[in-house]
């Protein structure tokens, strides 16, 4: 009787990209293997015909393999699977998933084994695990809470991801906050909740970054108030909801530092204003003493010299000495007058408008630069006078003096225009020249104390000072200060009434 031919894989199986093996059910020897199996293993078919799955998979046990195959029973089409590692001809190993089926071909009882090389899947899993480990390492060492937040179309919220920083920042375990997302809003101080919701809805509407700062109270642990900063990037969901990926950080320390800096600046401003006030008072006192005492004494000396000169003998030398002393006293009187004016112009007693006009005329005489002053309320500025207390008037005048000094030193101008206007609750002084204009480098000079002094004086008045370039060349200084409550009320009452409907 002629033995039946050795079975072989069908042509379609021979061309398949998946590894396929034909195994004798009695001997477990490999009867056939397709091209994909031979290439991956590095064996030719003749060598494979002398091998069994146990030779390819050293980790397999014969009894284990036979028990697995016996579980197929005698039913054609039943299948079982296992995972193992195959050994290539070059000694390298690769993971494989095998699926065994019982078949009968030409009277032979066979097993068909379909192998799926798991190298790429294992590499992808390993890479994913590595990336996950790196991500966890970065997140766990991040000084804050990394989170993923979802707002559903029906208004429900969920924290789909929370890092381990949740407990440290919010005082809540991850599981507790995920089970009840509303706990986070409950932590926010009532006065800050509206800004939180407004920022979230604005981010959702504009699909823009969500940036919010607010306070939370940790009652269960420390009963403490913290400042937190929330930054998140939105991602629209197919369901119509919105997902945010972001981070929360504790900014309490920086907020406290900012508050301390603000208080320090406020105290420094108060001290600066007090120093300027004391300085102005001292200038006024010295100017008055110089004018009254020295001026009075020099006037008395001049009168006495005149009396003595009238009684001197008609001698040329004595008369010459008397004339010299008389001129010396005149020069001293002029010096006393000039020094007292420099310390505090007496025109300040007549009001800010008169003082500005006087300083403008002095500037014109000394520098030869035209200086035009315009004020509200007519030429005498009567509508402005009385709305500034003496200290504010003196500070505004000193700013004006410093601005003219800067123009004289640096601007190269030929014309200066000064405007003093009342605008409801504010008084605005504008000084504009036609010089070369101020540059950014001029503002950043380390020793630009004149500009700093002007700015500090304006701030001490509760106002602002701005510098800007004028189209066509030149610089404009604008000082804006707030009037006192009584002055502002008077100014508002003088505004023209709106026409009635």
- Please spell the DSSP secondary structure of 424-436, one letter per residue: TTEEEEEEEE-SS
Any residues with CB less than 8 A from the CB of 317 and at least 6 apart, and which? Answer: none
Residues 154 and 95 in one domain: no
Look at residue 243 in the predicted model and tell me its pLDDT.
95
Number of folded domains that form the chain:
4
pTM of the model: 0.51
In degrees, to the nearest 5, what angle opens at C-alpha 465 toward C-alphas 464 and 466? 125
3-state SS, one letter per residue, for 375-403:
ECCCCCCCCCCCCCCHHHHHHHHHHHHHH
Domain end, chosen from 328, 343, 358, is at 343
Residue 452: which CATH number? Answer: 3.30.565.10
416 and 319 in one domain? no
**Is the four-CA dihedral 47, 48, 50, 54 of positive or negative sign?**
positive
Q: Are residues 353 and 476 in the same domain?
A: yes
What's the pLDDT score for residue 194?
95
pLDDT at 375: 84
In a domain, 487, yes or no: yes
Look at the alpha carbons of 389, 392, 396, 402 in this order and tell me if their dihedral is positive or negative.
positive
Q: Same domain, yes or no, for 235 and 300? A: no
One domain for residues 479 and 384: yes
pLDDT at position 386: 56
Q: CB-based contacts of 121: which residues, under 8 Å, 6+ apart? A: 95
269 assigned to some structural domain: no
Asked if residue 389 belongs to a domain, the reply is yes
Task: Answer yes or no: are the C-beta atoms of 472 and 458 closer than 8 Å.
Answer: no
Which residue from 356, 471, 360 is spatially nearest to 420, judged by alpha carbons? 356
CA distances (Å), origin 211, targets 215, 244, 257, 357: 14, 11, 20, 52
Name all contacts of 325-329 with Cβ < 8 Å and 24+ positions apart: 326/302, 329/298, 329/301, 329/302, 329/305
Q: Which residue, 196, 177, 198, is CA-closest to 188?
A: 196
Joined together, the tokens standing for residue 331 give: 């020069």
Cβ–Cβ under 8 Å, residues 429 and 478: yes
Query: At which of 343, 360, 386 does a domain end?
Result: 343
CATH number of the domain within which 85 lies = 3.30.450.20
268 is a domain residue: no
Q: Enumerate the β-bridge partners of residue 103.
A: 110
Q: Are residues 154 and 210 in the same domain?
A: yes
- Tell whether 326 and 401 lie within a shared domain: no
Burial profile 301-312: b = 16 or more Cβ within 10 angstroms, e = fewer: bbeebeeeeeee
Q: Residue 2 domain-assigned?
A: no
Going by C-alpha positions, the residue among 342, 485, 476, 349 that lies closest to residue 425 is 485
Taking the alpha carbons of 11, 15, 18, 24 in that order, is the dihedral positive or negative?
positive
* Domain match, 489 and 359 both: yes
Please tell me the predicted confidence (pLDDT) of residue 295. Answer: 74
Could you tell me if 338 and 370 lie in one domain?
Answer: no
Domain hosting 363: range is 347-493
Q: Is residue 260 assigned to a domain?
A: no
> Is 115 within the bounds of a domain?
yes
Per the CB < 8 A criterion, the answer to whether 144 and 229 are in contact is: no
Which H/E stretch holds residue 414? none
pLDDT of residue 449: 65
- H/E stretch holding 344: none
What sign for the dihedral angle of Cα 407, 412, 415, 417? negative
Q: Per residue of the chain (501 residues), give pLDDT as tens.
A: 455 676 888 888 999 999 999 999 889 999 999 999 999 999 999 999 999 999 999 999 999 998 998 888 777 667 899 999 999 999 999 999 999 998 888 778 888 999 999 988 888 888 888 887 777 776 666 778 899 999 999 999 999 999 888 888 888 899 999 999 999 999 999 999 999 999 999 999 999 999 999 999 987 655 688 999 999 999 999 989 999 999 999 998 888 888 888 888 778 777 877 777 777 777 777 877 776 677 777 788 878 877 887 777 877 788 888 888 888 888 888 887 777 777 777 777 778 888 888 888 888 888 888 898 888 754 445 555 556 677 778 888 888 888 888 888 888 888 888 888 887 778 888 888 888 877 666 665 655 666 777 777 778 777 888 888 887 788 888 888 877 644 444 444 444 444 433
Name the packing angle between helices 449-460 and 390-406 (round to 10°).
Answer: 160
């Amino acid at each position: 009787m002629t033995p039946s031919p050795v079975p072989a894989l069908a042509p379609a199986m021979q061309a398949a990209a998946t590894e396929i093996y034909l195994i004798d059910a009695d001997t477990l020897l490999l009867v056939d293997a397709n091209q994909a199996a031979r290439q991956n293993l590095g064996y030719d078919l003749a060598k494979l015909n002398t091998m069994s799955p146990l030779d390819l998979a050293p980790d397999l046990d014969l009894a284990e393999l036979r028990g697995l195959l016996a579980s197929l029973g005698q039913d054609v089409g039943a299948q079982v699977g296992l995972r193992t590692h195959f050994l290539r001809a070059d000694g390298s190993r690769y993971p494989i998933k095998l699926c065994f089926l019982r078949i009968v071909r030409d009277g032979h009882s066979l097993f068909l084994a379909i192998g799926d090389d798991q190298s790429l899947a294992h590499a992808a899993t390993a890479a994913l695990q590595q990336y996950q480990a790196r991500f966890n390492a970065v997140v766990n060492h991040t000084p804050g809470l990394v989170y993923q937040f979802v707002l559903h179309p029906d208004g429900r919220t969920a924290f789909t991801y929370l890092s381990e920083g949740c407990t440290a920042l919010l005082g809540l375990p991850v599981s507790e906050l995920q089970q009840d997302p509303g706990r986070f809003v409950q932590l926010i101080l009532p006065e800050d909740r509206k800004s939180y919701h407004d920022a979230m809805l604005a981010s959702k509407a504009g699909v823009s970054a969500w940036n919010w700062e607010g306070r939370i109270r940790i009652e269960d642990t420390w009963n403490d108030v913290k400042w937190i900063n929330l930054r998140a990037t939105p991602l629209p969901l197919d369901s119509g909801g919105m997902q945010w990926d972001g981070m929360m950080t504790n900014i309490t320390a920086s907020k406290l530092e900012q508050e301390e800096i603000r208080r320090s600046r406020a105290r420094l401003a108060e001290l600066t204003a007090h120093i300027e006030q004391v300085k102005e008072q001292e200038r006024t006192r010295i100017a008055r003493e110089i004018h009254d005492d020295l001026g009075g004494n020099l006037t008395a000396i001049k009168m006495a010299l005149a009396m003595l000169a009238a009684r001197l003998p008609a001698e040329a030398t004595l008369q010459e000495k008397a004339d010299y002393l008389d001129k010396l006293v005149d020069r001293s009187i002029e010096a006393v007058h000039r020094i007292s004016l420099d310390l505090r112009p007496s025109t300040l007693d007549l009001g800010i408008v008169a003082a500005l006009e006087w300083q403008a005329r002095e500037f014109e005489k000394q520098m030869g630069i035209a200086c035009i002053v315009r004020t509200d309320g007519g030429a005498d500025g009567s509508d402005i006078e009385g709305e500034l207390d003496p200290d504010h008037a003196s500070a505004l005048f000193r700013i004006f003096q410093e601005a003219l000094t800067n123009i004289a030193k640096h601007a190269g101008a030929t014309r200066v225009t000064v405007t003093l206007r009342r605008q409801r609750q504010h008084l605005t002084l504008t000084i504009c020249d036609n010089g070369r204009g101020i540059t950014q480098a001029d503002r950043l000079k380390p020793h630009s104390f004149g500009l700093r002094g002007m700015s500090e004086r304006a701030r001490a008045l509760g106002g602002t000072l701005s510098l800007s370039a004028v189209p066509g060349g030149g610089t404009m200084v604008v000082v804006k200060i707030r009037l006192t409550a009584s002055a502002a009320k008077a100014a508002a009452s003088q505004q023209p009434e709106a026409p009635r409907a």
